[in-house]
Copies of this chain bind each other. A is one copy, B any other.
Amino acid sequence: MIYIDAKSDKPIYEQIIEQMKFHVAKGNLNSGDAIPSVRKMALDLKITPGTVAKAYAELERQNVIETIRGKGTFIAQNISFEADAKKIDEVKRRLKSDLLELKMNGLDEDEIVKLVRETYKELGL
């Protein structure tokens, strides 16, 4: 369900966060669904529980999952897909760097949009 790319420069806990969100966005995981325990996922991915716990803590902070003491961890009930202006601004900032990089590679606005649409499709959402 979650795959770690050890070669990636992206921290493992961020890879977990991103893939968990992906499964939620795609509909593979829905409100109330149980997700693996910290220990189980750590065993599966052959990483330490602390790293999984860090990812889960962040996902809980973002209201993607919620934990019930002694029971386990679940996809949040009130999970929302509403726009958070602050988060969108963060994305825009990162986007600017990437658009500039594409421009430096000779792509104009329409070609960039084409690339974005193409990339969006590849996500398979």
Give chain A's interface residues, CB within 8 Å of chain B.
6-7, 9-12, 18, 21-22, 24-25, 66, 68-69, 71, 80-84, 87-88, 91-92, 94-107, 109, 112-113, 115-117, 119-120, 122-123, 125
Contact = CB atoms under 8 A, between A and B. Distances in A.
Contacts of A119: 92, 95-96, 99
A46 B112 CA distance: 36
A9 B68 CA distance: 8
**A interface majority secondary structure:** helix
B98 A83 contact: no
Contacts of A88: 102, 105, 107, 115
A55 to B, nearest CB: 14
A103 to B, nearest CB: 5
A49 to B, nearest CB: 14
Contact of A100 (B18, B69, B83, B103): B18
